[in-house]
Amino acid sequence: MMQAVAQVGQWLGLGGSIVANLFNPRLIVIGGYFASLAQWLLPHAQDQLQRLVVAVPAAQCRFVASTLGFGAASRGAASMVVNRIIDDPKTIMDSLPRPTAY
């Protein structure tokens, strides 16, 4: 099992190196099931990332595990909707169906 987890970590590192080479982020946050396996995955992912980055600034990138849990994405999406409605309350009225006249 540990060999399989190490292999997944290497694949994460490969994907992370592509992201780092394209966008040069400082952090790549791993969530969900990956976050619960972070202590085993991230060392392999980080090694692969360091090996495959091209630009020197991209080598500053590192993996971290999210501490927000499985509901983080849905809470984030809900907060975007709530913030949009707070910013412009009539937004919700524009998306509601209008009653038709008979």
Contact (Cβ atoms closer than 8 angstroms) between residue 70 and residue 32 = yes
What local confidence, expressed as pLDDT, does residue 96 receive? 60
DSSP code at position 99: P
What local confidence, expressed as pLDDT, does residue 90 receive? 77
Pick the CATH number of 1-69 from 3.40.190.10, 3.40.50.11540, 3.30.420.40, 3.40.50.300: 3.30.420.40
- How do the domains of the chain map onto residue ranges? 1-69
**Residues in the chain, how many?**
102
Give the ranges where the chain is alpha helix by DSSP (H): 2-23, 32-36, 38-52, 72-87, 90-95
Mean of pLDDT over the chain: 88
**φ/ψ bin of 96: left (φ > 0), alpha (ψ from -120 to 50), beta (otherwise):** beta
What average pLDDT does the segment 27-55 reach?
92
Whether 57 shows a pLDDT value over 80: the answer reads: no
What local confidence, expressed as pLDDT, does residue 10 receive? 96
DSSP code at position 30: E
Whether 19 shows a pLDDT value over 70: the answer reads: yes
In whole angstroms, what is the distance from residue 44 CA to residue 76 CA? 29
Whether 47 shows a pLDDT value over 90: the answer reads: yes
Residue 93 — pLDDT band, cuts 50, 70, 90?
low
What average pLDDT does the segment 7-13 reach?
96
What local confidence, expressed as pLDDT, does residue 33 receive? 86
